């Protein structure tokens, strides 16, 4: 009630300012003669316009919260429009986001909610969110995770992504352990580190390097880049959960909330 009263008071004050403007214009003999307004006619003379501007400026200076409220309302409308556009883009890309055979899947393959992550092995924030993803996978037996290799931080990242997808081609079950091992490694992750981790896991390095040349890998990386552009993902990590594109290293609580929201929609 208090907010509504304040808003009504502001409207009343602005109306009073407008009435004052009209009175000033009329009292100073600046009012235009009544009659129809035709194309090309000026609604106000320059002197009249200046009188109105002065009164409006004084009103705004005395009531700056009106401008702040207007800016907030404009920002809220812009954010709502952006969210609607993003949701439409996600809906259009849904099948490619969730069902590309070259996008590894973890968790429950028949889960009722799919979480899609775009990541880069050399992204510090991507590494930071790994424990939360592991905890979420362990705690929620009905969520499906899709991993989108999105190497945007240089050639080393491209090489690491190629190695990970090569592991996926050779042995899909080995992808998640390999992915987690790379994410938990220190320093720059590229071809050398990827081959070291693969060897530690018992993956033949010669077979891995051969698989890294598979044309399906190039196609998958191009597809991920195009998808990111379509849904306006500009950095890593970024998640698609339900209809929402969520940038940044979200924590476990946020992941759980977003998945719960997607389940309820």
Helix (H) or strand (E) holding 83: helix 64-98
* pLDDT tens profile 202-225: 999 999 999 999 999 999 999 999
pLDDT at residue 34 tops 70: no
- Give the whole-angstrom CA distance, residue 207 versus residue 220: 20
> In this predicted structure, what is the pLDDT of residue 41?
53
DSSP 106-120: EE-TT-SEEEEEEE-
Count of beta carbons in the 10 Å neighbourhood of residue 155: 10
Nearest Cα to Cα of residue 104 among 233, 199, 256, 216: 216
Going from N- to C-terminal start, the domains of the chain cover 2-30+43-67, 93-264
Torsional class of 247: left (φ above 0), alpha (ψ -120 to 50), beta (otherwise): beta
> In this predicted structure, what is the pLDDT of residue 27?
47
Mean pLDDT, rounded, for 232-244: 95
Question: Residues with Cβ < 8 Å from 152, sequence gap 6 or more?
Answer: 120, 235, 236
pTM of the complete model: 0.71
Write out the CATH class of domain 93-264. alpha beta
Mean pLDDT, rounded, for 132-139: 96
Q: Residue 143: beta bridge partners? A: 113
Lowest-confidence region among 33-37, 61-65, 167-171, 172-176: 33-37
- Give the whole-angstrom CA distance, residue 70 versus residue 229: 32
**Is the Cα torsion angle 185, 188, 194, 197 positive or negative in sign?**
negative
Work out the pLDDT band at 251, boundaries 50, 70, 90: very high
Count of beta carbons in the 10 Å neighbourhood of residue 58: 12
* pLDDT tens profile 140-199: 999 999 999 999 999 999 999 999 999 999 999 999 999 999 999 999 999 999 999 999
CA gyration radius for the chain?
A: 29
The strands making up 113-119's β-sheet, listed across from edge to edge, are 105-107, 143-149, 113-119, 238-241, 244-247
Nearest Cα to Cα of residue 70 among 10, 13, 5, 4: 10
């Amino acid at each position: 009630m208090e907010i509504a009263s304040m808003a009504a008071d502001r409207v009343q004050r602005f109306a009073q300012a407008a009435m004052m403007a009209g009175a000033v214009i009329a009292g100073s003999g600046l009012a235009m003669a009544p009659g129809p307004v035709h194309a090309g006619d000026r609604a106000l003379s320059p002197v009249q316009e200046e009188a109105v501007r002065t009164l409006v400026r004084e009103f705004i200076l005395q009531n700056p919260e009106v401008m702040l409220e207007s800016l907030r309302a404009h920002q809220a409308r812009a954010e709502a429009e952006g969210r609607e556009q993003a949701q439409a883009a996600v809906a259009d890309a849904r099948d490619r986001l969730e069902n590309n055979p070259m996008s590894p899947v973890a968790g429950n393959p028949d889960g009722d909610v799919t979480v899609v992550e775009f990541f880069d092995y050399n992204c510090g924030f991507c590494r930071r969110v790994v424990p939360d993803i592991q905890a979420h996978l362990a705690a929620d037996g009905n969520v499906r995770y899709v991993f989108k290799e999105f190497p945007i931080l240089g050639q080393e990242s491209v090489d690491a992504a190629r190695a990970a997808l090569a592991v996926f081609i050779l042995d899909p079950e080995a992808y998640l352990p390999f992915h987690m091992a790379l994410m938990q490694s220190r320093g720059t992750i590229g071809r050398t580190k990827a081959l070291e981790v693969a060897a530690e896991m018992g993956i033949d390095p010669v077979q891995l390097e051969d698989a890294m040349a598979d044309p399906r890998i190039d196609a998958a990386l191009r597809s991920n880049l195009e998808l990111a552009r379509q849904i306006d993902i500009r950095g890593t990590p970024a998640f698609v959960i339900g209809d929402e594109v969520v940038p940044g290293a979200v924590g476990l609580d946020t992941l759980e909330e977003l998945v719960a929201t997607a389940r309820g929609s």
